[in-house]
A and B are shown apart, each in its own frame.
Chain A
Amino acid sequence: MTLTEMLMPVAPELTLLIGVCAVFLLGVSKRPAVRSAIAPLTLVILLGSLVATAMCSDLDASGLVGLAFDELTGYVRWITLAMGVLLLLVNWRVPTDGEQGEYFGLMLCSIAGVLLTASANDLVVLFFAIELVSVPTYVMVALSRTDQRASEAALKYFFLGALSAAVMVYGFSFLYGLAGTTTMMASGGDSLQATFAEVGAINAFAVVGLLLAMAGLSFKVAVVPFHAYAPDVYEGAASPLTGLLGFLPKLAGFVALIRLLTVCHWALPDSLMWMMWIMAVATMIFGNVLALLQTNVKRILAYSSISHSGYMMIGLLVGPVLGEGPMHDGVAAVLFYIVIYGLMNLGAFAVLSGLNVRGEAAETLDDLAGLSRRAPMMAIAMAVCAFSLMGFPPTAGFLGKVYIFSSAFSLSDAHPFHGPLVTLAVIGVINSAIGAVYYLRIAGYCFLREPGDGLKRVGGVMPGLGLAVCSLAMIVLFIRPTDLVNRAKSATASVGSSVVTRVAVAGAETPPSDTRPQ
């Protein structure tokens, strides 16, 4: 096997890596024309990576240690790179002159990290990939604004992020101690998955390892009680970057959680199931209730981001339910929802970044007052995103919530978690209603208030284009969600197949409508 053959399956990641090198080197150029060409170059790199994703259909990972490719990898590659283009458009003008190289280079690093997280098949690679997502974001927060608050946010984010990474890797060490290998899945030979099939997830080492690893990952997805950093960091970072912070680390965290749960055959011990259940409830309630108390739109959206993680936890608890429609599969619902969430969240932050109030970036509800008179298109885009975040038709946020909540009903009556999950869905619906209050408040300020003075439309063509795509996608995905849903559905096929393996290993008889082991 030659080096070229070996590296073919990671062509999208390699494209990004070469791009990072080029962007960093051009960023230190002394000629302004070169520096201003960096953002377009980053766009070309992202599109090149998309082309590479489309071309490398042959996903033979036999030559690559610690990597494996399946349908989930492909799905995450597509959505990350497509969202990456939108993130780039919205962030087009964020870095100050002379820092474009660092800013866009780090953005590409973070995107490459998400792609690697989706193909990691080894605990060490998984840890490295997740840190590749996180570490650049710490620096980007500091670079995004020449402001003391940005430095403060970056420092808080860094320290808490480093702590969460330590907790996560401590959990991984327990899993290694249990299995004697860091390989997550293998068709033959030693792997964590095979070990879990043997000893089950009730082993003390397994429980402690999973608990710590999940705690570390919960920080990345901002789940209560690991949510405290989110409002401060979101407030301190520039608005366009906040759209990125709400998507890339969250996606990486959820993909890693899906991988970890696949490794333990979606058969968590009851104690951990209840822990996740309580975390989901607390996340939904804390996020929504605290968002009600805020007047800063960025803080409202930060708490809303926390509550949306709570909704997605429901899908994780349900797990993959194969062979049924998209309304039943919890993991497919999560994979669908996170795309929708990333789009509507980015759209809301793009509106904020496109507005200036007396020379300062718009942040509070009062800043948005009367937006419909000053910039009607921006107000409409904000309303679409707010309604989508609320989960109101005709926006894609509605479909996302429908898939998540309906998946909670797909476990059979005999399943011990049938009742608790139905309760969880009910709590989720009640929380959506609470959330409607503050999303409607945002929309209301835009349309019903008298405009204050000094509200001005800023930005440029590219951020405007990004915003337009985000808000249009909310409508388009409501009318035609089939393609995305089907891709999400087929992406879970590979994660769900391990459930079948577990059933075969245990020799237990499980009805086909509920492939989860009891």
Chain B
Amino acid sequence: MAAEGLRCSGMNLMLMQVDFGAWKAIGFVVALACATAAGALILAHLVRPAKKGPVKDSIYESGMPVFGDARRRFNVRFYIVAMLFLLFDVEVVFLWPWAVVFYRAATTGETVATPDGGSVGAGFMLGAMGIFFVLLLVGFAYEWRKDAFQWD
């Protein structure tokens, strides 16, 4: 009994220490999402007419007719397109945060601290991104020359 009481008070202590303030909004959104999904399903179930059939059970009721399985061979060209997309997508992912910091540094002359205690300015950032960009351009030129952008 004593041990249980101790554990309970420990739990209470832990709960009291956690600040839920920041999580309230997220909890609310999660609850709202669950309620919307469940509500839509329940409401539809209540009001819709019950008609079953092969068309009704198909994957895209009003869309394209489905042919075959998804686990079949695809033309290898699709994979190249997917890889190229990934490449350029990652490039943009790097460029975006860089542009935000660089804009601030270039317009206000602000510097960014580095781990060794120094600081770097806009010129440094431009040089660093220049190296990254040249490397990407090399890859781009290589792909172009290898006809990776040609569909046929």
Contact = CB atoms under 8 A, between A and B. Distances in A.
Nearest to B143: A28
B141 A25 contact: yes
A125 B135 CA distance: 19
Contacts of A25: 138, 141-142
Contacts of A62: 116
A28 B135 contact: no
A508 interface: no
25 contacts: A1-B114, A1-B116, A1-B118, A1-B120, A2-B124, A3-B124, A3-B127, A3-B128, A21-B134, A21-B135, A21-B138, A24-B138, A24-B142, A25-B138, A25-B141, A25-B142, A28-B141, A28-B142, A28-B145, A28-B146, A62-B116, A63-B114, A63-B116, A63-B118, A65-B115
Given A3-B128, A28-B146, 13 more contacts: A1-B114, A1-B120, A2-B124, A3-B124, A3-B127, A21-B134, A21-B138, A24-B142, A25-B142, A28-B142, A63-B116, A63-B118, A65-B115
Contacts of B120: 1
A89 B144 CA distance: 30
Nearest to A4: B127
A65 B118 CA distance: 13
Contacts of A1: 114, 116, 118, 120
Nearest to B118: A1
Interface in A4-30: 21, 24-25, 28
Which secondary structure dominates where chain A touches chain B?
Answer: loop
Interface string B123-137: 010011000001100
Contacts of A21: 134-135, 138
Interface of A: 1-3, 21, 24-25, 28, 62-63, 65
A327 to B, nearest CB: 41
Contacts of A63: 114, 116, 118
A246 B142 CA distance: 30
Nearest to A64: B116
A425 B33 CA distance: 65
Q: Which 8 A-B pairs have the closest CB atoms?
A: A28-B145, A62-B116, A21-B138, A3-B127, A1-B118, A24-B142, A65-B115, A63-B116
B125 to A, nearest CB: 10
A16 to B, nearest CB: 13
A12 B145 CA distance: 28
A63 B117 CA distance: 9
Nearest to B137: A21
A27 to B, nearest CB: 8
Contacts of B118: 1, 63
A448 B146 CA distance: 50
The interface centre, meaning the residue of B114, B116, B120 with most chain A CB atoms within 10 A of its CB, is B116
Contacts of A3: 124, 127-128
Contacts of A65: 115
Contacts of A2: 124
A21 B131 CA distance: 12
Interface string B94-125: 00000000000000000000111010100010
A517 to B, nearest CB: 31
A350 to B, nearest CB: 30
B90 to A, nearest CB: 15
Nearest to A14: B131
Contacts of B138: 21, 24-25
B102 to A, nearest CB: 14
A134 B36 CA distance: 49
Contacts of B146: 28
A413 to B, nearest CB: 46
Interface in B51-72: none
Contacts of B114: 1, 63
A2 B125 CA distance: 11
